[in-house]
Amino acid sequence: MIALLMRDLTLAVRAGGGFGLAVAFFLIVTSLVAFGVGPRLDLLARIAGGVLLVGALLATLLSLDRIFATDREDGSLDLLATSPIPLEAVVLAKAGAHWLTTGLPLTLAAPAFGILLNLPPAGYFWVSLALLVGTPALSLIGAFGAALTVGLRRGGLLLSLLVLPLYVPTLLFAAEVVRRGIEQQPTAVPLLLLAGITTGALALLPFAASAALRVNLR
């Protein structure tokens, strides 16, 4: 399982753009919002937290279809399915690799991009924390969506249609953490609920994703 994780990480780094692409997309989305709503700093400060979360969510979406699609094309997914490690563990390793190559860099980049949007000083810590807790759930849900659409030729658009509604609770709780954090209110409840979604997704979604993969490999 660790070998698989390392393999996916190496592939992501050597294939080019594994780390960079999502972060660059994130940067472009945040700056586009600034262009779109205008350069008024007071307005940007109010929406900065939400924009960072939505931008990170969209950047996660960008690389989802590659989780299983490339492995299916060259046949390594069939090998993985017949290998001694259970398919659930394969899903978990692949979602983990996806998180390490998109979720984690996005979390690290978010505070830097917060400067562009005039994020209030109290917000930096909470945006990073909400992303750190929330992005694993995004990768896991995304792996499930990718497993559903792996058999389709043009699954990319359908994948976003399927996955985005599933992202809603994660986004709502993360946004609530950031909002309360900036307004100096207690953040424990939404933060715990966000962590609950992540751990619940970690526990259950590998089973759903591998069920979908088995159907697609039939």
Partner 1 sequence: MSFWEFANPRKFMAWTAPVLPWVSALAALALSVGLVWGFFFTPNDFRQGATVKIIYLHVPAAMMAINAWVMMLVASLIWLVRRHHVSALAARAAAPVGLVFTAMALLTGAIWGQPTWGTWWVWDPRLTSFFILFLFYLGYVALWQAIEDPDTAADLTSVLCLVGSVFAVLSRYAALFWNQGLHQGASLSLDKEENVADVFYIPLLFAIAGFVLVFVALVLVRTRTEIRARRLHALAMRERMANA
Does 26 bind partner 1 (CB under 8 A)? Our answer is: no
Does 193 bind partner 1 (CB under 8 A)? Our answer is: yes
In the set 64, 148, 177, 191, which binds partner 1 (CB under 8 A)? Answer: 148
In the set 58, 116, 164, 202, which binds partner 1 (CB under 8 A)? Answer: 164
Of 128, 71, 126, 122, nearest to 98 by C-alpha is 71
Q: Min. distance of Cβ 170 from partner 1 in angstroms?
A: 8
Residue 99's alpha-carbon distances to 49, 63, 67, 103, 218, in angstroms, are 21, 10, 11, 4, 28
Q: How would you class 16 by CB atoms within 10 Å of its CB: exposed for 0-12, middle for 13-18, buried for 19 or more?
A: exposed
- The C-alpha atoms of residue 67 and residue 97 are separated, in whole angstroms, by 9
Q: Min. distance of Cβ 20 from partner 1 in angstroms?
A: 30
- The C-alpha atoms of residue 198 and residue 122 are separated, in whole angstroms, by 24
In the set 57, 175, 178, 191, which binds partner 1 (CB under 8 A)? Answer: 175
Does 216 bind partner 1 (CB under 8 A)? Our answer is: yes
Which residue, 4 or 209, has its beta carbon nearer to partner 1? 209
Which residue, 112 or 204, has its beta carbon nearer to partner 1? 204
Q: Could you tell me how many residues of this chain bind partner 1 (CB under 8 A)?
A: 29
Does 212 bind partner 1 (CB under 8 A)? Our answer is: yes
Of 170, 166, 146, nearest to 156 by C-alpha is 146
Q: Min. distance of Cβ 174 from partner 1 in angstroms?
A: 10
- The length of the chain in residues reads 218
Longest dimension (CA), the chain: 57
Q: Decide: 102 and 63 in contact? Cβ < 8 Å.
A: yes
Does 215 bind partner 1 (CB under 8 A)? Our answer is: yes
Does 127 bind partner 1 (CB under 8 A)? Our answer is: no
- The C-alpha atoms of residue 28 and residue 6 are separated, in whole angstroms, by 29
Does 91 bind partner 1 (CB under 8 A)? Our answer is: no
Does 161 bind partner 1 (CB under 8 A)? Our answer is: yes
Which residue, 109 or 148, has its beta carbon nearer to partner 1? 148
Q: Decide: 110 and 131 in contact? Cβ < 8 Å.
A: yes
Residues that bind partner 1 (CB under 8 A): 144, 148-149, 151-152, 155, 158, 161-162, 164-166, 168-169, 172-173, 175-176, 190, 193, 197, 204-205, 208, 211-212, 215-216, 218
